[in-house]
Amino acid sequence: MHKTIVALSALLLIQSNTFASGSGKQNVVLDKKNAIYWQDTRFTEKSSEDWDDARAYCEALELDGMKQWRLPTFKELLTIVDYTRVEPAIHPVFAYVNQGTYWTSIDFSATLSRAWTIDFRTGKTYYSYKTTNHSVRCVKDLKSTTVKDSK
């Protein structure tokens, strides 16, 4: 609980009403509208993992004292695409970005050998083979943190 409060207090509002990023720690972006934290670290920029490893990475992640991370759903990842920009087409609050393809947790409906991705060079969406290597940006539900914190 103490860790949680420290992590929350590190999150200062510097951008729009929707997103806030930590000023001291640059590891986490808070998405208030969707009530989730976004990972924003060097790994977010440099990572290249197949789908299984991407999922395992998020599940094992501990960031600013916070656990219980996961891959974003397709619709969560779509919320940080900014279609008024390209190269990269991402909300400017994020510091660690590459112009590549990022994994989502959502299986492709026609075959389980593929999962949905979003290419942050332009915002193109596609179903990629799970054995392909892509970048990873994990999310964490705000609920699991704030419920504890409010007591």
Report the distance separating Cα 78 and Cα 99, nearest Å.
Answer: 15
From first CA to last CA, the distance across the chain in angstroms is 10
Among 1, 2, 17, 87, binds other proteins (CB under 8 A): 87
- 90 near other proteins, judged by CB under 8 A: no
- 116 near other proteins, judged by CB under 8 A: yes
Nearest residue to 61 (alpha-carbon basis) of 75, 44, 77, 80 = 44
CA 145 to chain centroid, in Å, comes to: 16
- 133 near other proteins, judged by CB under 8 A: no
For other proteins, the closer CB: 42 or 124: 124
- Pick the piece of the chain touching other proteins (CB under 8 A) from 42-50, 59-67, 93-101, 109-117: 109-117
Instruction: Check the CA dihedral 64-89-31-53 and report its sign.
Output: negative
Report the distance separating Cα 6 and Cα 147, nearest Å.
Answer: 15
- 112 near other proteins, judged by CB under 8 A: no
- 17 near other proteins, judged by CB under 8 A: no
Among 125, 132, 133, 141, binds other proteins (CB under 8 A): 125
Binding site for other proteins (CB under 8 A): 74-75, 78, 83-87, 89, 106, 108-110, 116, 122-127
